[in-house]
Chain A
Amino acid sequence: MEIPLIPLYKGGLGELEFVLNLCGHVERTRTRYFLNNEVIMALVIDIIIGGLINGSTFALLAIGFSLIFGVARIVNFAHTAFYMLAAYCIYIITQKMGLHPVWGMLAAIVLVTLLGMLSYKALINPIREHEGAVLIATIALAMIFQEIMTLIFTGTFLSVPALIKGYFILLGVKVFYQQLLTFCAALFILAVLWVFLMRTNLGLAIRSTAQDREVANLMGINEARVAMMTMGLSVGLAGFTGAIVVPLTVLEPQMWGAPLVMMMAVVVLGGLGSLKGSFIAAYILGFAEALVVFLAPMGAYLKGSVALSIMILVLLIRPEGLFGVYFEEER
């Protein structure tokens, strides 16, 4: 709709001058909120949906990270950098090559998995026995990926199209199909992972290695190969997460930093190396974020800090996390 060209608002210097000069000590007008049952109901629905969506994204990221830690004791700080690489891979395939996002997603998962395995072989495996060195090496790896992407794509913000466009209305709340996909993907991945770990030979080998590396080795399991396969699986999950989540976010070379912090919080809260713990912790922090945004809109920027505070609080009461594996073993 076009509006005729008429000078509708002529306000300018005079009437705004005093307000701008008094920034900070003006008489504030306060917006008052009247809560009734309808508003409370709507708020609860918003929080539930927001929490489930946030939690699913965290869960997808944390499960992969938790897996490689549980099996190989590798703290892979580059985990979310692989997620960033997957996002750029999808960008190239969809925006530069003009192919369907599904092709981008498949290519991203395959390429990132291969790159993850290669990185493990070339960079992590030689220093695996020194956990501190591995930690630093993975940070360096993430920084290298970031700088390479900055050189190629500069710091420009980019985006990719959604796998499924549009939204639906659930109990009065607008939800993207892509968000629903993220939620379903988190459940699906956990189910598949459970079947894989419980019902396949490789899964058995991974579980054995996670329980006791030396004994697994003595039983004829090639522990190094299992670790590499697990690294591939873990990074593949990061690639898959990138593929699912990236249409909901903004691509930039530093996009791995913020999710890394939340992912670490989820993993520590759930208990290092515990897949079940990561899954549950992801939803706890997801709901914490949603609560902050809806109950304190002026403090929406604090949602990350609140989630991290919850993590610290839980750790004070239960230092091994909710479903700690590592610390229990130490005892």
Chain B
Amino acid sequence: MERWEKRIFVLAMVSLFLVSSWAVAFAQEIKIGVIGPMKFVQGQGHWNGATMAADEINAKGGIQVGSKKMKIKLIQSDSNEFLNVTDATNAMERLMTQDKVDFVLGGFRTEAVLAMQDIAMDHKKIFIGCGAAHPELCERVAKNYNTYKYFFRGTPFNSTFLVRTAFIHLGTVGAVLKQSLNIPKIKVAIVMEKALWADPMIPAAEATIPKMGMEIAGIWRPSPVATDVTAELSAIQRAEANIIFEIFSSSVGIPFSRQAGELKIPAFQVGINVEAQKEGFWQATQGMGNYVMTSNTYARSVEQNELTKPFVEGYIKRFGEVPTYTADTYAAIVYGLAPSIEQAGTLDSDKIVSILEERVYKVPSGTVKYMKTADGKPLHDLTWGPGFLTGLATQWQDDKIAGVWPYKWKATPEAPEVTYKGIVPIKLPPWMIEKYKK
């Protein structure tokens, strides 16, 4: 290489270095990775919530970080975690090493989130989980704080609280049936999909239901992907159950509700049916999922606080449907991350962690306060209960999701009553009324 060629080469390299250094030093963007199963409703919720949050913040000029305003740049990452957990870890690795994001939100399947969590923690990046409910995700924070302190649960509250809420809904329906149909002893059919997360709920249900003054009619465990449950429904009807306490997170929730409605099984469906939380449930069951009641996060016209309505209405206006809980990426960015960054005045993960774990702040579904263990260790798990997050019970009433719980609910005799604006009465299926009023 000639001497002048060498000079030009060195000059070009130096220029390139200076330009890239300048770009890094003066970048006005905060990169947030949004990871989830993007071809599925859950991932779409992650992305929709995050885009709404980013647009809202960017329209106001961005997030104040020290002396400068920085805009949010979202990076979408398809974890494909429903089909392949390895895809999820690869996607997280890519976010960390190639996209070099500052923060990550999302994740849905616990198995995938546990693996993704390790990668984000290795890179010391704050990861706000917006989908998986297993307590282990946060127990890791308490057990090994220095490694896992960058993980926070964004939504939903953990599975122990989810079950607790479902039992309260079951009790409420039991009381309604007793009062309105004069059924002296309520019989409950327990129907839970065969999945790891549902297994501990069987002994819990077996022990709890009799204590609630109800009788167990039988226990059925269909496959999570069963497409025909007429045999189970036939057996449930023969067992003369008045209530079907169902726990479904998979597709079986659709054929079960559809076939139960089509066969007019005289038993009220209540519990957790993740598919029934989505607006597509009505089409998916051909309208036969009417009267199904499930734990939920949002419903049209129900307001947990003053932030709910603007969020839900804004979401419906933009995406044409009620947000599901994975859309809480919105709350995680707008009310969790952004104010914490502003308060820290830096993007340094450690400083933001120490602020975020101490803050108590309102989100559209209630109030967030991160829990601590009995011995005071940070858990980064969401506090459940009156005044914090309680969730809703929604029921399909004709072609709409209506909020039916909480209404004057008291968690303990001393606890304050909880009623959310917009809660409507529970409706009973006409074929049940017809059967029991005879």
**A positions within 8 Å CB-CB of B:** 1-16, 19-20, 22-31, 33, 39, 42, 46, 50, 53-54, 95, 150-151, 154-162, 165-167, 173-176, 179, 248-250, 252, 254-255, 258, 290, 293-294, 297-301, 303-304
Question: Are the C-beta atoms of B228 and A249 separated by less than 8 Å?
Answer: yes
Q: B209-223, CB under 8 A of A: which get 1 and which 0?
A: 111100011111111
- Across the interface, B425 reaches (CB within 8 A) one of A4, A27, A150, A304, namely A4
Closest A-chain residue to B430, C-beta based?
A1
The interface-forming segment of B116-124, B142-150, B278-286 is B278-286
Closest B-chain residue to A257, C-beta based?
B225
**22 A–B contacts from the bound complex (CB under 8 Å):** A5-B424, A6-B408, A8-B176, A9-B172, A11-B171, A12-B411, A29-B207, A46-B234, A54-B228, A150-B39, A158-B284, A159-B254, A162-B286, A167-B262, A174-B234, A175-B230, A176-B259, A179-B230, A249-B255, A294-B235, A301-B221, A301-B226
Question: Are the C-beta atoms of B230 and A16 separated by less than 8 Å?
Answer: no
Question: Are the C-beta atoms of A250 and B41 separated by less than 8 Å?
Answer: no
Question: Are the C-beta atoms of B263 and A297 separated by less than 8 Å?
Answer: no
Question: Are the C-beta atoms of A19 and B207 separated by less than 8 Å?
Answer: yes
- Specify which chain A residues have a CB less than 8 angstroms from the CB of B217 in the assembled complex: 31
**B positions within 8 Å CB-CB of A:** 37, 39-41, 44, 82-83, 160, 163-164, 167-168, 171-172, 174-176, 179-180, 193-194, 200-201, 203-204, 206-212, 216-228, 230-235, 237-238, 251, 254-255, 258-259, 262-263, 275, 280, 283-286, 385, 407-413, 415, 417, 423-428, 430, 433
- Specify which chain B residues have a CB less than 8 angstroms from the CB of A160 in the assembled complex: 286
Given contacts A13-B385, A19-B204, A20-B160, contact A301 B41 (CB under 8 A): no
Using A3-B176, A254-B83 as known contacts, list a sample of 13 further A-B pairs with CB atoms less than 8 Å apart, ordered by residue number in A: A6-B408, A7-B410, A12-B164, A23-B200, A29-B209, A158-B283, A161-B286, A179-B230, A250-B284, A252-B251, A297-B219, A301-B222, A304-B223
- Across the interface, A12 reaches (CB within 8 A) one of B208, B409, B430, namely B409
- Specify which chain B residues have a CB less than 8 angstroms from the CB of A162 in the assembled complex: 286
For the complex, what is the distance from the CA of A297 to the CA of B232, rounded to whole Å? 7
For the complex, what is the distance from the CA of A300 to the CA of B230, rounded to whole Å? 12
- Specify which chain A residues have a CB less than 8 angstroms from the CB of B193 in the assembled complex: 301
- Specify which chain A residues have a CB less than 8 angstroms from the CB of B424 in the assembled complex: 5
For the complex, what is the distance from the CA of A9 to the CA of B173, rounded to whole Å? 8
Question: Are the C-beta atoms of B263 and A157 separated by less than 8 Å?
Answer: no
Closest B-chain residue to A4, C-beta based?
B425
- Across the interface, B179 reaches (CB within 8 A) one of A8, A24, A161, A248, namely A8
- Across the interface, B427 reaches (CB within 8 A) one of A1, A19, A156, A299, namely A1
- Specify which chain A residues have a CB less than 8 angstroms from the CB of B174 in the assembled complex: 9
For the complex, what is the distance from the CA of A173 to the CA of B164, rounded to whole Å? 35
- Specify which chain B residues have a CB less than 8 angstroms from the CB of A1 in the assembled complex: 180, 427-428, 430, 433
Question: Are the C-beta atoms of B180 and A294 separated by less than 8 Å?
Answer: no
- Specify which chain A residues have a CB less than 8 angstroms from the CB of B218 in the assembled complex: 31, 33, 297
- Specify which chain B residues have a CB less than 8 angstroms from the CB of A293 in the assembled complex: 231-232, 235
Instruction: Determine how close the nearest CB of chain A comes to the CB of B159; give it in whole angstroms.
Output: 10
Question: Are the C-beta atoms of B221 and A154 separated by less than 8 Å?
Answer: no
User: Which residue, of A15, A95, A297, has the highest number of chain B Cβ atoms within 10 A?
Assistant: A297
- Across the interface, A2 reaches (CB within 8 A) one of B41, B172, B263, B425, namely B425
User: Which residue, of A30, A157, A248, has the highest number of chain B Cβ atoms within 10 A?
Assistant: A157
- Specify which chain A residues have a CB less than 8 angstroms from the CB of B221 in the assembled complex: 297-301
Given contacts A156-B280, A250-B251, contact A5 B210 (CB under 8 A): no
- Specify which chain A residues have a CB less than 8 angstroms from the CB of B168 in the assembled complex: 9, 11-12, 16
- Across the interface, A14 reaches (CB within 8 A) one of B39, B285, B412, B428, namely B412
- Across the interface, B172 reaches (CB within 8 A) one of A4, A8, A301, namely A8
- Across the interface, A11 reaches (CB within 8 A) one of B176, B212, B408, B430, namely B212
Given contacts A8-B176, A29-B207, contact A176 B164 (CB under 8 A): no
Instruction: Determine how close the nearest CB of chain B comes to the CB of A256; give it in whole angstroms.
Output: 12
For the complex, what is the distance from the CA of A13 to the CA of B384, rounded to whole Å? 10
Nearest 8 Cβ contacts at the A-B interface: A7-B408, A8-B175, A12-B411, A301-B194, A249-B227, A9-B171, A155-B40, A293-B231
Given contacts A2-B425, A156-B280, contact A26 B40 (CB under 8 A): no
Question: Are the C-beta atoms of A7 and B407 separated by less than 8 Å?
Answer: yes
Instruction: Determine how close the nearest CB of chain A comes to the CB of B275; give it in whole angstroms.
Output: 6
User: Which residue, of A27, A29, A179, has the highest number of chain B Cβ atoms within 10 A?
Assistant: A29
Question: Are the C-beta atoms of A12 and B207 separated by less than 8 Å?
Answer: no
Closest A-chain residue to B384, C-beta based?
A13
Instruction: Determine how close the nearest CB of chain B comes to the CB of A305; give it in whole angstroms.
Output: 10
Question: Are the C-beta atoms of B251 and A28 separated by less than 8 Å?
Answer: no
Question: Are the C-beta atoms of A300 and B171 separated by less than 8 Å?
Answer: no
- Specify which chain A residues have a CB less than 8 angstroms from the CB of B234 in the assembled complex: 46, 50, 173-174
Given contacts A46-B231, A294-B231, contact A159 B286 (CB under 8 A): yes
User: Which residue, of A4, A25, A31, A167, has the highest number of chain B Cβ atoms within 10 A?
Assistant: A31
Closest A-chain residue to B38, C-beta based?
A154
For the complex, what is the distance from the CA of A174 to the CA of B264, rounded to whole Å? 9
- Specify which chain A residues have a CB less than 8 angstroms from the CB of B204 in the assembled complex: 19-20, 23, 26
